[in-house]
Amino acid sequence: MDDKIGVFLCTGYGIAEALDVEALRNVVTGECEVPFCETVPSCEGSDLAAMNGTIRREGFTKVVVAGISPRAYAGDAFPDGVIVEKVALREHVVGCQPPKEEDTQMLAEDYLRMYLAKVKKMAPLAPFRPAEPLDRGVLVVGGGLAGLTAALEAARAGATVRLVESTERLGGWLGKQHRSIPTKPPFRDLEETGIGELVEQVTSHPRIRVSTSATTASISGGPGLFDVTLRSTGNGKPAGEVIDTFRVGAIIQATGWKPADPRDRLPWGRQPGVILNVDFEEIVRAHGRPVHPVDGRPVRSVAFLQCGGSRAKEHHSYCSSICCLTTLKQALYLRESDPEAKAYVFFEFLRAPGLYEDFYRRVQEDPGVFFTRGEVTAVEPAPGGGLLVSAKNAMLGESLAVKVDLVVLAAGLKPNSADGEAIRALEGAKVAVVKGENEQQRKEAAEKIEKLKAHEGTEILNLRYRQGPDLPALEYGFPDSHFICFPYETRRTGIYTAGAVRQPMDGAASREDATGAALKAIQCVEMTARGEAVHPRAGDTSVPDFFLQRCTQCKRCTEECPFGVLNEDEKGTPLLWVTRCRRCGTCMGACPERIISFKDFSVDIVASMIKAVHVPEEYEQSPPATTASCSSAASTATTISATS
Amino acid sequence: MAGAETVLPGGPSTRGVRPPLVEPDLDFLRSLRRQAGPDFKKCFQCGTCSSTCDLSPADHPFPRKEMAWAAWGLKDRLVRDADVWLCHQCNDCTVSCPRGGRPGDVMAAAREATVIHYALPRALARIAHEPHSLPLLLAIPFALLALALALRGPIEEGLGLAAVAGERIVFPYSVFFPHWLLNGLFLTVTAFVLLVMLAGALRFRAGLCAAERERNGPEPLRGRLASLLAALRIAFGHRDFGTCTAARPRMLSHSLVLYGFLGLTIVTLFVITAPVNPLVRESFVYPFAFFSPMKLLANAAGAAVFAGALLMIVRRLTDRSGSRGAFSDWLLLGGILLVVVTGFATELFHYLRLEPHRHVIYFVHLACALGLIVSLPYSKLAHVVYRIVAIAHAERRGRTAPLKGGIAKEVRHV
């Protein structure tokens, strides 16, 4: 062994008062057989400098500092290349146990044994350095408000950006709107959408290259090394033709939303004069005022049915957050077109989040907009033309009917996402139908195909990932990792989502979201270039080692990796894409052969630490116990609580 | 028909009985907005207004439902609603409304709409409710009197100005304004006005009953006459003013004005009927001596009306809800004050023997009194009748019994 280990025992912070330091030293030099053990008065300032001087002079490769929590040190507190383990005697022993007790002393000694066992097994980290240079560019998929904003913000921050839009023009849904809801105080007046200026800024930016009528045919690689192939959607060039290949460092998916059309579900949904809010918007944009879609005559009364007229669990069980605001806006279109026009709004809950409440009140003030709770029971042709909308549990709990020219359903938002895992399962089932080992397997595969056939051909990103061609879709199809703790994060490293594809949101939130995602993408390429992991183990330079000679190709690691890091060769041997790895250790736990390890963390290291605990022969009074606590949450919490 | 509900022809729909068709009345909404401000439509039906109200019954309480109807411009429901007349506008609801919806003002506006709706002709009532018609309103009684005087001869002569002769001018009023003319004109007008008022009251009552039938309201608990008598007892006894904690101070001002007017009416009827009253026919002297019982009553009653009206004005100007009242409120208050002030001025000038000022001011007094009488079915004064009809209607169905010390009251006083 070339390792040279040094141990520093801190006597400050009340440690010397609570513990027998001499006995601790005996543990180190005696049973642990580490000859160098020195006491230091504290772990900071000149004492820390003196400690570092000793480390350099003695040429230690591994050091254990028994004093304060690792959280208390700066990142560069110790010399580079030296493995330093910090034992939190202050927090985990002195701070929470009675001083000068036998059990307290025993606890401190066990910590020393465990961390000495740990450093003995640790090897120096070798941060990932790829053979080829990493790319720092950003690919933005989707040219709506979120995509345009993400592209512009990333470019302004210095990144080169490729923006890909599947249709002929940029602008997305906002580009199809007549006016925008108010975005600033006093939230009373409709605003211009401003999408034209945004498109102009994006298309004229020197670091942004826009490809319209294009989609991603394939994306392979990982952060810093994404190889992207674009294909044409058929405008000008033959559909499917490869039009470009390039490399980027990170990806932002801002593919937006599509309306959740409830009309086929509603017994009265399919009849002339029952349209979606997006259709109403396009009519107003085209004609400057609401007109009837069938005969083109000006519309004088409209019933707006919120929640798509059908907020049912099986249809659309979440709130899309913007349909109420859209209805308020569209009611104003109608009222501004004709002072005698009437807009009826039937809702279950009318939601105008935050300061949009002011906009709601402003629309309420309008004499010609009528709000009522109510469950619409029927929409039928009225005698003499128009439609008759009947509702129960409406105003004052009574039933009522109104006669209108048009019924507008406030359709909710569905994410424009593809469920990569479902697509992969579908592909797998297709193979199993042909190659199934027995009738039962083939039958099950056929049933699976039936269940998943809606996912056929829905690919968006076309990732060359073993776990499927797109981001895993979570609740309701939103490809979000965890929208509260980890906004913009997805379960594919280096691919961030922004805007309504991630979560229903309005324009203002989309802009903010896109800006956040752009910064996350830039952060990702920078950290990847330094060989570091991204959030949540940001800065971790360890890399999982696969001892492939003993791999049985069981595919558990490739299946269970939450981030789709591992591809497979034909035999099923895992292929590691290091820059996708988040250092979560799931593969390590999944491997039945225990061939996956980190240099600073492995099954062997943890087992050695547990074995190092000294178990007395008689322990009825205070049996020893160990806990494994999360280094970012639980361990931090106990550390903080011990010192406060 | 705007603001109305009709059951559409074509029989019941496939989903059972078709609900009533609702058609908001935009003109009505705009008039509500003028009177109660733009915020009444922001009502979100929380019910705070009804829970703070001491007078509101537990079943279908007001003004919550009236706020919903108002927000939808359902004039038809509001003008056929007895509850808007059970409110005495203490404005507790307006103070408590979390949306600034001013339910107190909405109820007042609904009452106004009711008066206009049932008035014959309706146009006259509209005029009586619009500020810009004030000069016209003032001109009408003067024109009427001038016309009446013109029938008697040239106006100068009629005014008595041409008859000034000698050093001292002594004109009895009877020469200046002959009693046959005064009585004839006033009695005719009063009779006509009362007829119009009666028609309005009957139509209002029919509306209330129709609305009750449409919503399958409760069966009447007591007879019509008994309910009417109870309503009169409630109104003249100021029971609701007493029940409503916040309106209690207004009991005094309203009593002063109401009973003052009753006193003045008694004196007036006594004077008019004196020539045919066998008890006083021989001894009747007009004007009365200062210490005659009738003069004492008249002066006391006049003073009561004056004091009551002043109290009302002060209260309106200091209302904690910020409600300063509608034009119709001020028109009535102004009219009452004009009648009383010109009455006292006439009396004063009479004692001072100021000629011909006393004749001119008497002329003005009479014109104002006539104006007040004419305005009965068309102005806020109509509340005298509509409120009694509404209370009688509510009394008949057991809706007037107020909640005594309910939960809301406790909450309000915390």
Of residues B10 and A639, more confidence is placed in A639
Higher pLDDT, A597 or B60: A597
Write the DSSP symbol of residue B291: T
Taking the C-alpha atoms of residue A85 and residue A72, their distance in angstroms, rounded to an integer, is 13
Asked if B22 and A364 come within 8 Å (Cβ–Cβ), the reply is no
> Are B156 and B35 in the same domain?
no
DSSP β-ladder status, A566-568 and A574-576: antiparallel
A460 and A437 Cβ atoms separated by less than 8 Å: no
Question: How many domains, chain B?
Answer: 2
E-only strand ranges, A476-571: 495-497, 545-546, 566-568
Provide the token pair at A303. 């019933």
A380, A392, A403 member nearest B13 (Cβ): A380
User: Structural domain of residue B353, as residue ranges?
Assistant: 127-396
- Name the 3-class secondary structure at A495: strand
Instruction: Report the share of chain A in percent with pLDDT over 70.
Output: 98
Residue A75's pLDDT is: 83
**Residue B19 distance to chain A (closest CA, Å):** 5
Alpha carbon distance B374, A128 (integer Å): 99
How far lies A408's CA from each of A278, A324, A326, A403, B360, in Å? 9, 12, 11, 13, 68
Residue B286: its pLDDT value, please? 73
| Minimal-distance CA residue of chain A relative to B61 | A396
Residues in contact with B131: Cβ distance below 8 Å, sequence separation at least 6, in sequence order: B327
Q: Which CATH architecture has domain A138-256+458-529?
A: 3-Layer(bba) Sandwich (3.50)
Is the omega angle on the peptide bond into residue B63 within 30 degrees of 0, that is, cis? yes
- Are B262 and B360 contained in the same domain? yes
Packed helices A323-337 and A356-365: angle between N→C axes, nearest 10 degrees: 30
Nearest Cα neighbor of A308 from A232, A376, A363, A244 is A376
| Same-domain check for residues B179 and B116 | no
Distance CA A174, CA A510 (A): 11
Could you say which DSSP state residue A92 is in?
I
Rounded CA separation B31/B27 (Å): 6
Asked if the structure places residue B233 within a domain, the reply is yes
pLDDT of residue B168: 40
DSSP state of B336: H
In a domain, B408, yes or no: no
Which residues does A contribute to its contact with B (CB < 8 Å)? 340, 342, 361, 364-373, 377-378, 380, 382-383, 388, 390-392, 395-396, 398-403
CA distance A18 to A501: 56
Most confident of A232-236, A334-338, B315-319, B371-375: A334-338
Half-sphere exposure (Cβ direction) of B146: Cα atoms closer than 13 Å: 7
Fold for A545-597, please state it: Alpha-Beta Plaits (3.30.70)
Rounded mean pLDDT of B112-124?
A: 93
Which of A301, A359, A365, A404 should we substitute to test contact with B (largest number of B Cβ atoms within 10 Å)? Answer: A365
B214 and B294 fall within a common domain:
yes
What is residue A135's DSSP assignment?
A: P
Most B CBs within 10 Å, among A349, A396, A403, A405, to test the B interface = A396
The predicted-structure confidence for B75-104, as pLDDT tens digits, reads as follows: 999 999 999 999 988 888 999 999 999 999
User: How near does any CA of chain A get to the CA of B72, in Å?
Assistant: 6
CA proximity to A479, closest of A252, A148, A262, A167: A252
Helix, strand, coil fractions of chain A, as percent rounded to 5: 35, 20, 45
Residues in Cβ contact with B356 at an 8 Å cutoff, skipping those fewer than 6 apart = B159, B160, B161, B164, B169
Burial degree of A325 (CB within 10 A; 0-12, 13-18, 19+):
buried
Burial tier of A135 (Cβ tally within 10 Å: 0-12, 13-18, 19+): buried
- How far is residue A380 from each of residues A229, A398, A402, A405, B150, measured CA to CA in Å? 51, 19, 11, 11, 66
A260 burial via Cβ count (<10 Å: 0-12, 13-18, 19+): buried
* Alpha-carbon gap, residue A167 to A233, rounded angstroms: 8
Distance CA(B77)–CA(B80), nearest Å, equals: 5
Residues B388 and B258 in one domain: yes
3-state secondary structure of A99: coil
| Distance between CA atoms of residues B156 and B147, nearest Å | 13
CA proximity to A556, closest of A544, A574, A540: A574
Q: A259-412: CATH homologous superfamily?
A: FAD/NAD(P)-binding domain (3.50.50.60)
Determine which of A345-354, B176-185, B206-215 has the lowest per-residue pLDDT on average: B176-185
Residues on B contacting A at a C-beta cutoff of 8 Å: 8-10, 13-15, 18-24, 26, 29-30, 33, 38-39, 41-42, 45, 65, 68, 71-73, 99
State whether B187 and B293 are in the same domain: yes
**Residue B406 domain-assigned?**
no
Q: How do the residues of chain B divide into helix, strand and coil, expressed in percent and rounded to 5?
A: 65, 0, 35
Of B15, B29, B99, the CB nearest to A367: B29
Predicted local distance difference test score (pLDDT) of residue A474: 82
Architecture of domain A5-124+602-642: 3-Layer(aba) Sandwich (3.40)
Cα gap B56→A301, rounded to integer Å: 35
For position B408, what pLDDT does the model report? 42
Give the residue ranges of DSSP H helices in B353-377.
Answer: 357-375
Each residue's pLDDT tens digit, A557-572: 999 999 999 999 999 9
The reply to whether B364 falls in a domain is yes
Do B104 and B202 lie in one domain? The reply is: no
Is there a contact between A340 and B26 if contact means CB atoms under 8 Å apart? yes
SS3 assignment for A220-288: ECCCCCEEEEEEECCCCCCCCCEEEEEEECEEEECCCEEEECCCCCCCCCCCCCEEEHHHHHHHHHHHC
Residue A99 pLDDT class (50, 70, 90 cuts):
very high
The segment with the largest mean pLDDT, out of A617-626, B9-18, B151-160, is A617-626
Interface test with B, best of A300, A335, A388, A389 (most B CBs within 10 A): A388
Q: Which of B92, B121, B150 is the last residue of a domain?
A: B121
A483 pLDDT exceeds 80?
no
Inter-chain CB proximity A366 and B71 less than 8 Å: no
HSE-up (13 A, CA, CB side) for residue B259: 13
Give Cβ neighbours of residue B190 (< 8 Å, ≥ 6 apart): B373
Is residue B78 located within the same domain as residue B156? no
Same fold, A138-256+458-529 and A259-412: yes
Same domain, B73 and B24: yes
DSSP A359-379: HHHHHHHSTTEEEEE-EEEEE
The answer to whether the CB atoms of A399 and B19 lie below 8 A apart is yes
Return d(Cα B302, Cα B308) in angstroms, integer. Answer: 10
- Minimal C-alpha gap between A462 and chain B (Å): 49
Domain positions in chain A are 5-124+602-642, 138-256+458-529, 259-412, 428-455, 545-597
Token pair 């029938």: residue: B151
Q: What is the pLDDT of residue B410?
A: 39
Confidence of residue B3 (pLDDT cuts 50, 70, 90): very low
pLDDT at position B342 over 90: yes
Which amino acid, one-letter code, is at A204?
S
- Find the mean pLDDT for residues A448-475: 93
Indicate if B81 and B200 belong to the same structural domain: no
Determine the Cα–Cα distance for residues B3 and B30; give it in Å rounded to an integer.
13
DSSP A156: H
In angstroms, rounded to a whole number, what is the distance separating the alpha carbons of residues B359 and B365?
Answer: 10
Residue B413 lies in a domain: no
Residues B141, B174, single domain; the answer is yes
Least confident of A379-393, B44-58, B388-402: B388-402
More confident residue, A316 or A554: A554
